[in-house]
Amino acid sequence: MSRFNTTFAKLNAKNEGAFVPFVTLCDPNLERSFDIICTLVENGADALELGFPFSDPLLDGPVIQAANQRALSAGYSSDASFELISKVRSKYPDIPIGLLLCANLVYAQTIEDFYKRCSEVGIDAVLIADVPLLASNEFMPFAEKYGIQQVFICPPNADEKTIQRLAIQSKGYVYLVSRAGVTSAENQKMTSNLAELINALKQNNSPPILQGFGISTPQQVTDCLKLGIAGAISGSATVKIIEQYLNDHEKCLEELASFVKRMKESTVLKLR
């Protein structure tokens, strides 16, 4: 079983959902980013979603755009990001690691070299934000060859045919987008048809569902889990803490620890 599959099974046995924070790698630099990621894991993150710094992010709102720019301005790119993931994997051999990035960063290395490198550093899953199901054929063979689970996004307007394809082709988990638009901790309005999308995915035997976009409070995590999903991803709210305490690294780690603990506590739902 993959690390994601194993983690979901363990959490389900404990009647817990998953809390998955997102951060941009090497923000604000490689050393501090490693400290940040360790803090997330040590304080309850069930898995990690990590982003490569990129100059033209597709779905990211201003908070994550700024994180990308900080990492790039400090001179970090894909090579440093792979180095950092390898360091994280060495310290945490069991934590599931998902990578979120745009296709240009894959093409820059050739598709096969990219997936080979993902396997070498211990990445479990890859979500290419600007590659829809219909354009995934050139990526899937290499993901399978190197044992990487290819994850796809379920958008709010997904029709029945798209949901059927998602359930078959997405591996590890399905990323359910809470609403249209870009990432933002401030925009917490969820689309009205989430329950219908979740039910449709489950009826088609999809992988576990992780919901993201606008997840910033423990109550939102609880509400998500009540819809029957496996867990919640929080990106902008996590990265905003890094931005807020750029000049005080120890305070940043303290605030991240507190945030992750509160979010994780809200995943113990089914026993209530």
Active site residues: 49, 60
**41 contacts 1 by C-beta, under 8 angstroms:** no
- C-alpha distances (whole Å) from 119 to each of 142, 143, 164, 193, 206 are 11, 9, 28, 36, 24
> What single-letter amino acid sits at 101?
L
**What's the CA gap between 236 and 62, in Å, rounded?**
9
CA distances from 196 to 158, 199, 203, 225 (A): 10, 5, 10, 14
Cα distance between residue 49 and residue 51, in whole Å? 7
Cα gap 139→165, rounded to integer Å: 16
